[in-house]
């Protein structure tokens, strides 16, 4: 247990998240594996769509386009992996789920830009980084607490991937945030996310 706590503290420090997920959330998840897998699959699809949206609106940045194309492909691959797990277990991929957590972050993003293209890009990148950071943390909690060994290994592998996606978004926010104090803005995002995530951790979904 001590080793797990140390590891959790480390990843919280790297991601700079302010509020860790209560491991007891996994007890809720384990009661409805079909729901968590369905929700997770759609999270991956939305992440791929988000990356494509950023590319569409900022196609002049060749390096960003290249890296986000790779990221989008990886998210779709994750969608397929989750779907394969669903089929393997004799479960069904349900309809797309509403993600209240992400919707709250989205509304914050929409209200925060100053109308410029640079501000719009930075806000979208920080919005994306925030989701990846929390997803990474949730995957870690799952990997260390779920009794299903196959899912424990699966979420450990995906946790590492999400950490890379988080880094990609943060890096480009810093690179293209000319005239914006990106570090200050990120601290504001972290504070806001803390206030939002405090209301979650009660549902059998990735951000629930």
pLDDT of residue 57: 97
Mean pLDDT of 20-39: 97
Confidence band of 191 (pLDDT split at 50, 70, 90): very high
Per domain, the residue ranges of the chain are: 22-198
CATH number of 22-198: 1.20.1260.10
pTM: 0.93
DSSP string, 78-138: HHHHHHHHHHHTT----PPPP-HHHHHHHHHHHHH--SSHHHHHHHHHHHHHHHHHHHHHH
CA 3 from centroid of its chain's CA atoms:
24
The number of beta carbons lying within 10 Å of the beta carbon of residue 108 is: 19
**How confident is the model over 151-171, as pLDDT tens digits?**
999 999 999 999 999 999 999
* 139 in Cβ contact with 8 (< 8 Å): no
Predicted confidence (pLDDT) at residue 11 exceeds the cutoff of 70: no
DSSP code, position 112: H
**How confident is the model over 45-76, as pLDDT tens digits?**
999 999 999 999 999 999 999 999 999 999 99
Distance CA 193, CA 175 (A): 23
């Amino acid at each position: 247990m001590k080793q797990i706590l140390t590891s959790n503290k480390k990843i919280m420090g790297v991601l700079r998240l302010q509020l860790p997920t209560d491991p007891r959330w996994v007890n809720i998840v384990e009661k409805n594996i079909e729901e968590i897998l369905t929700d997770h699959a759609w999270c991956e699809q939305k992440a791929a769509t988000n990356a494509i949206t950023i590319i569409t609106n900022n196609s002049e940045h060749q390096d960003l386009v290249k890296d986000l194309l790779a990221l989008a492909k990886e998210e779709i691959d994750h969608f397929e992996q989750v779907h394969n797990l669903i089929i393997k277990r004799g479960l069904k991929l349900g309809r797309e789920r509403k993600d209240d957590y992400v919707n709250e972050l989205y509304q914050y993003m929409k209200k925060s830009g100053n109308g410029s293209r640079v501000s719009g890009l930075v806000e979208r990148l920080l919005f994306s980084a925030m989701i990846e950071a929390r997803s990474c943390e949730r995957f870690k909690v799952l990997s260390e607490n779920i009794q299903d060994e196959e899912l424990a290994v699966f979420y450990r592998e995906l946790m590492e991937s999400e950490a890379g996606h988080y880094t990609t978004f943060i890096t480009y926010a810093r690179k293209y945030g000319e005239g914006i104090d990106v570090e200050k803005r990120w601290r504001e995002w972290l504070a806001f996310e803390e206030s939002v995530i405090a209301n979650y951790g009660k549902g059998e979904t990735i951000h629930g």
